Amino acid sequence: MTKPKVLISDKMDPNAAKIFEERGCDVDVITGETPEELKARIGEYDGLAIRSSTKVTADILSAATNLKVIGRAGIGVDNVDIPAASSQGVVVMNTPFGNSITTAEHAIAMMMALARQIPAANARTQAGEWPKSDFMGVEVTGKTFGLIGAGNIGTIAASRAQGLKMKVIAYDPFLTEERAVELGVEKVDLDTLLSRADFVSLHTPLTDQTRNILNRERLENAKPGIRIINCARGGLVDEAALKDLLESGHIAGAAFDVFETEPAKENPLFGAPGFICTPHLGASTTEAQVNVALQVAEQMSDYLVNGGVTNALNVPSLSAEEAPKLRPYMKLAESLGSLVGQLAHGNLTKISIEREGAAAELSGKPIEAAVLAGFMSRYSDSVNMVNAPYLAKERGLDVRSVRHEREGAYNTLLRVTVGTSTGDRSVAGTLFGPEAPRLVEIFGVGIEADLAGDMLYIVNEDAPGFIGRIGTLLGEKGINIGTFHLGRRDAGDEAVLLLSVDQPIGQDVIDAACKLEGVKTVKGLEF
């Protein structure tokens, strides 16, 4: 097997490259390229490891013909076009915890630097001024810390602020009262937060809801003398409005690590009174960078080598321990999805996936994604587990997953049912031994068959002589039969024949088979 090839395109701790190599990947480290250079190169790679500098746009992705996974050594993925990656079947993963302590500590460092004007005092002292009487600071003890966004980083920042004897109030629409009590913070609405806080620290992602969350109106109505810290994302605060309000003195200070446009070589806030900043250093500690580099390389190689999915943003997680257990089910699920997709006619608007026995104990989402990947291949050639659920949604397919507690005839069973204009059509399969996927039912008829390679599916009247006739026909056409599977509802009723053959079935064979006595349906299948 050729080794998966990974490109590290942003500055990353050398442990990342080491782990990729140890885990069976070839790795190139090429940083600082222009988008054009990256686009020209990206086609060679199975994996792309990034931080925040590389912008993975739809244009770059259009050239990423071999790409399977993008790994973000860090948290924010606003530099990745996730919908484009998803529709192309590329997994996007991040490392959601590796740099959170470090970033929360940076927010606290920024707060202290603001409270005591350390950057300006430092600059003037080193310039030989000794400006002792120009710097009067404020204490943080007893002051109110207003947290916007009580997620991983926000809650760590809150606990550090509590350690500094501050009162913490928090605005986060997803924060429950119970969790607020557990954290020892008071849950408030945004206007209340801005009217009471002495220091406000932002810790939300940048989304349509959070963009400009501190807009001009909110900043104007905030408590006079408030100080604002943003170590989350540029675009959360209206930079021009903040500059005006720093100049008017309504806002006493602001400390930013992130900017609307980065790298921020110029910005309206530069030089505003009480403004301090750092160049997106929130995650830049040795500890955090080792954490995220190790984690991203482990996660990406796990996916590329073993199919394990951890911390993915566009596909369900699948641990490296669970991945081998699920693998035969994924094959079975994909084959069943493909079988109903190839056989059912008309506009299919719903699909249900039932798991029974041992299959009911496994994660449902990956199995669902594999069924959809098989099923959606009837509509598109470039479909896989990552993009199938998105394509299904786009087509308005109603997808249901059902897990049965009941004991059935099989130790483990997957059933896939599609709704057609003439009623529900269902196929089911099991695993023989730990690994071998096997079809056990097709449209109500019990049958045992492997679904592999080229196959011929025939429904005929159950009457003597048919098997001889089809055998003769295939012999005349020079088609070699690999396996032969028969099933029927009741004696004399409809019978189903599934043959695996050594070459694709041409239309001439299908036409000839249709003319055989007693034949109702003939279809060539491909797995």
Ligand X SMILES: O=C(O)C(=O)COP(=O)(O)O
Ligand Y SMILES: NC(=O)C1=CN([C@@H]2O[C@H](COP(=O)(O)OP(=O)(O)OC[C@H]3O[C@@H](n4cnc5c(N)ncnc54)[C@H](O)[C@@H]3O)[C@@H](O)[C@H]2O)C=CC1
Positions that interact with ligand Y (CB under 6 A): 74-76, 96, 99-100, 103, 148-154, 171-174, 203-205, 209-210, 231-233, 257-258, 280, 282-283
CB atoms within 10 A of CB 154: 28
Establish if 104 lies at the interface with ligand X (CB under 6 A): no
Cα 525 from Cα 459, distance rounded (Å) = 14
Single residue of 38, 48, 56, 75 touching ligand X by CB under 6 A: 75
Contact code string over 167-206 relative to ligand X, x by CB under 6 A: ----------------------------------------
User: Which lies closer to ligand X via its Cβ, residue 197 or residue 237?
Assistant: 237
List Cβ neighbours of 432 (8 Å cut-off, separation of 6 or more).
Answer: 438
Measured from the CB atom, the residue of 226 and 283 that comes closer to ligand X is 283
- Least Cβ distance, residue 375 to ligand Y (angstroms): 33
Q: Choose one: 70-78, 241-249, 355-363, 465-473; the region binding ligand X (CB under 6 A).
A: 70-78
In what helix (H) or strand (E) does residue 9 lie, and over which residues does it extend? none
Residue 346's CB: how many other CB atoms inside 10 A? 10
What distance in Å separates the CA atoms of residue 420 and residue 422, rounded to the nearest whole number?
5
Binding range to ligand X, per CB under 6 A, among 73-81, 344-352, 384-392, 485-493: 73-81
Among 99, 102, 204, 377, binds ligand X (CB under 6 A): 99
Residue 235 found at the interface with ligand X (CB under 6 A)? no
Cα(308)–Cα(55) distance, integer angstroms: 25
Q: Give the contacts of 416 (CB within 8 A, at least 6 positions apart).
A: 333, 336, 337, 339, 340, 351, 352, 353, 354, 371, 375, 426, 427, 428
Residue for token pair 């004991």: 407
Could you say which of ligand X, ligand Y, none residue 267 binds, taking C-beta under 5 to 8 angstroms by partner kind?
Answer: none
Q: What single DSSP character describes residue 50?
A: E
Residue number with CB closer to ligand Y (81 or 450): 81
How far is 276 from 113, CA to CA, in rounded Å? 8
Catalytic residue among 23, 106, 203, 233: 233
Q: Does an H or E element contain 241, and which? A: helix 239-248
Q: Taking Cα atoms as reference points, which of 490, 484, 447 lies closest to residue 467?
A: 484
Active site residue 262: yes
Look at the block and give the residue holding tokens 């995650």.
283
Does residue 74 bind ligand X (CB under 6 A)? yes
Q: Which does 243 bind (CB under 5 to 8 A by kind): ligand Y, ligand X, none?
A: none
Distances (CA, A) of 232 to 42, 98, 274, 425: 29, 15, 19, 50
- Name which of ligand Y, ligand X, none residue 51 binds, using a CB cut-off of 5 to 8 Å depending on partner kind: ligand X
Which one of the listed residues 203, 280, 425, 488 is annotated catalytic?
280
Residue 455 CB burial class (10 angstroms; 0-12, 13-18, ≥19) = buried
Determine if 76 is a binding residue for ligand X (CB under 6 A): yes
Q: Which of 51/355 has CB closer to ligand X?
A: 51
Element (H, E) at 70: strand 69-72
Q: Name the segment binding ligand X (CB under 6 A); options: 72-80, 160-168, 184-192, 194-202.
A: 72-80
Q: Please state, in angstroms and rounded to a whole number, the distance separating the CA atoms of residues 51 and 46.
A: 17
Tell me, what DSSP letter sits at residue 182? Answer: H
Is 233 catalytic? The answer is yes
For residue 149, the partner it binds in ligand Y, ligand X, none, with Cβ less than 5 to 8 A by kind, is: ligand Y
**In the stretch 254-293, what mask flags binding to ligand X with x, by CB under 6 A?**
--------------------------x-xxx---------
Judged by phi (left if over 0) then psi (alpha if -120 to 50, else beta), residue 274 lies in left
Task: Measure the CA–CA gap between 59 and 45, rounded to whole angstroms.
Answer: 16
Closest distance to ligand X from the beta carbon of 291 (Å): 11
* DSSP code of residue 305: I
Q: How far is the CB of 45 from ligand Y (least distance, A)?
A: 24
**416 binds ligand X per the rule CB under 6 A:** no
> Minimal CB distance to ligand Y: which residue?
151
Residue 232's contacts (CB-CB under 8 Å, 6 or more residues apart) are: 149, 153, 202, 203, 204, 205, 206, 258
Residue 9 binding result from ligand Y, ligand X, none, given CB thresholds of 5 to 8 Å by partner type: none
Q: How far is the CB of 154 from ligand Y (least distance, A)?
A: 5
Question: Nearer to ligand Y by C-beta: 154 or 341?
Answer: 154
Q: Which residue from 23, 51, 106, 438 is in contact with ligand X, where contact means CB under 6 A? A: 51
Options 16, 47, 52, 366; binder of ligand X; rule CB under 6 A:
52
Which of 170, 272 has the CB closer to ligand Y?
170
Instruction: List residues with catalytic annotation.
Output: 233, 262, 280
Q: Which residues bind ligand X (CB under 6 A)?
A: 51-52, 74-76, 99, 280, 282-284
